[in-house]
Amino acid sequence: NHTRPDTACGPEAVGGCYRDVFDESVVMSTYLVAFAILPLDYGSLTREVPTKYGSVKTLEKQNVAEVITHEIAHQWFGNIVTMTWWDDLWLNEAFATFTQFIGVDVYNPTWNMMDRCYVEFVMNALQTDSMLHSHPIIMAGVSDPSEIESLFDDISYFKGSSLIRMLEGVIGRRVLKEGLMIYLNRFAWRNAASKDLFEAFSEAYRKINQNSGAHSNSPAENLTRVMDTWTTQVNYPLVTVRISGNRLHFRQERFLLYPNGTQIWESHQTNHVPDRQNPEPMWTWLDLEESKTVELDHTPAFVKINLNQTGLYRCNYEFSNWQQLVKLSRQGYFGSTDMAGLLNDAFTLAYIGRLNISVPFDLFETLEEDRLDSGTPWTISMRKISELQPLMAQDQQSAEKLVKLIFKILFDQGQIRQTDAITIAVKFARRSGALDLVWTHFTRNWDQLLKIYGHMPFLMSDITKFPADYYTEFDYERTREFFETHSLTSGKRNAYQSLESIRANIAWIKHNMESFKTFIKNKVIE
């Protein structure tokens, strides 16, 4: 929080942003200079295919910017104020993770960093904390060095930053900033605990809102009580909402990928209920209640809770409401983050048997790139579909039909840019273990691929490099025959490199298999 640089762009913009956020905190006694030392990538010097999902060069820049802004944030969260003990590690790491996205978003708004929050840490938090053997954010009684080291994990970083994001959604950035100023100045060069932070936020909330209007008697006035259920309990809730006339019936339960046990949270829902007279979403608090009924002044056609996915919980609805959400998605009703949340919840609920598998795929088919401001929904979809690999392995025929469906959406329906479609297809093949199915589909639709990518040398090269991981004589012969009888345009060199790689893989197995077996037999204890 030294003097702000005059320039408003480049790396200095991050410092300017942090100066704005932390302007009223104590002045630091040192300057921080950050350097990033990277390996020289000759390919990235000349090649950068611009896509919504980012080239290698762009992603590298984003990663460097995130690391730098994360470490700069530790000047406040860790240096000026340090947690009292390791059980509050999240006070350091979660805030540094959350503010790194704010800083990088100022540095380059075109990267859509605030939208990426959902993929980068909210989705990871939801996945990691859905296990019975997770742990609370605040680990009371931790003392062993190995236990302390284990706290540097997804819960401290990602669940913690997700809670801050949720808190900002409830109290607003103005109150969040004011609360941070109270916290940083009150505990400057000292130690603090989670309750100190929450008390500072509550104080800021009362100061700014003055207990008036909609803010009167709000649970946000006592955030220590509210946040205790989120920081001292393991896991998070699944909130199910059902429409009955003009009433909304809410029910919360502990979410686990493999259910076991119950807990209750004090939580809020931002309910997106269609109302022509009042288009603003309404708020509902579950005050340590397992269920709650809210009466409206109209009968809603549908309900969507957790607007902008600010809450750290999963959502479920009646099947008829899911169908309405699919219909609205087809009309472009939802933004990227809400679409990502709907897809993530739908695929996950189908995974545990709480929703028909048709729903997430119906949502997936509605994706159209031109209506979305980022690639987040596509990223979520590919990750979740890749998790179907165990099902695909059990039913080859269904797996082939799934690949056809994905490729129809990517290549036939004009819903996504051509440069992005091939990138998504390749990532799907690698993650899902469906390399052979995808390559087979490529070969059967080669004329279509040539028509689309024949004039794009980099992408055509990516396609012809695809079979390089094969390792049998059968795969070599069929790939060689295919390449020799089809036009390869600018991918010809990579095609022959793929054949060489297959030959090398075959030779590696031939020369090393017996010695490898002997080595393993001698090393592994039965």
Distance CA 371, CA 31 (A): 43
The residues, ordered by sequence, that sit 6+ positions from 3 with a Cβ below 8 Å of its Cβ are: none
CA 38 to chain centre: 25
Instruction: Classify burial at 97, counting beta carbons within 10 Å of its beta carbon; exposed 0-12, middle 13-18, buried 19 or more.
Output: buried
Q: Who's near 210: CB < 8 A, 6+ residues apart?
A: none
Structure tokens at 485: 């009888």
Respond yes or no: is residue 71 known to be catalytic: yes
- Residue 514, classed as helix, strand or coil, is helix
Identity of residue 413: Q
Amino acid in position 232:
T
Q: Which of 12, 48, 60, 71 is catalytic?
A: 71
56-73 and 90-107 helices, crossing angle to 10°: 130
**Secondary structure (3-state) at 82:** strand
Q: Which residue has the tokens 């932390």?
A: 22
CA 414 – CA 370 distance, rounded (Å): 10
8 A C-beta contact, residue 240 and residue 200: no
What is the C-alpha to C-alpha distance for residues 400 and 405, in angstroms, rounded to an integer? Answer: 9
The sheet carrying 304-305 orders its strands as: 282-286, 267-272, 304-305
Q: Which two tokens stand for residue 122?
A: 């909210």
- Measured CA angle at 309 (ends 272, 122), to 5 deg: 170
Edge-to-edge strand list for the sheet holding 247-255: 291-295, 247-255, 236-244, 314-317
Angle at 103 between CA 102 and CA 104, to 5 degrees: 95
Residue 395 and residue 357 in contact, taking contact as beta carbons nearer than 8 Å = no
Strands 314-317 and 81-83: unpaired
Q: What's the distance, Cα to Cα, between the start and end of the chain in Å?
A: 61
Residues 282 and 273: beta-carbon distance below 8 Å: yes
Please, which residues have CB within 8 angstroms of residue 297's CB and are 6 or more apart in sequence? Answer: 246
Q: Where are the alpha helices (DSSP H) in 366-472?
A: 376-386, 389-394, 396-407, 418-432, 435-444, 446-453, 457-464
What is the C-alpha separation between 388 and 409, in angstroms, rounded? Answer: 18
Give catalytic residues, as residue numbers: 71
